[in-house]
Amino acid sequence: RVKAYEAIVKGENTLEAGIPESFRVLVKELEGLALGVEIQSEDEHQIVLGEEDVPDIPLDLGIHLERDERDDVDETVR
């Protein structure tokens, strides 16, 4: 989505169709069930799903570690 948005804003039309994120999630779920997953193209060449397609976007999770969390635990225990 980020790449598509950036291309639209910049007026570029160079985006190629990629592998949907839901497919990547499905593969990870199957691997989590100890199933070996190999993805092959139509001509039976193995395709490796890499992380290079995933943009490095920092997420604002609302977590601010300004002090040691153990201080909070100690105060509630007292």
Instruction: Kindly report, residue by residue over 24-34, the tens digit of the pLDDT.
Output: 899 999 999 99
Residue 10 has pLDDT above 80, yes or no: yes
Q: Give the model's pLDDT for residue 34.
A: 92
Which residue blocks in the chain are alpha helix, DSSP H? 2-10, 21-32, 69-77
48's enclosing H/E stretch is none
The model's confidence at residue 45, banded by pLDDT at 50, 70 and 90, is confident
The model's confidence at residue 60, banded by pLDDT at 50, 70 and 90, is low
Q: What is the mean pLDDT of the chain?
A: 75
Please give the model's pTM, rounded to 2 decimal places: 0.44
Residues with Cβ within 8 Å of 40's Cβ and at least 6 positions away in sequence, in order, are: 46, 47
Of residues 1 and 57, the one with the higher pLDDT is 1
Dist CA 50 CA 9 (whole Å): 26
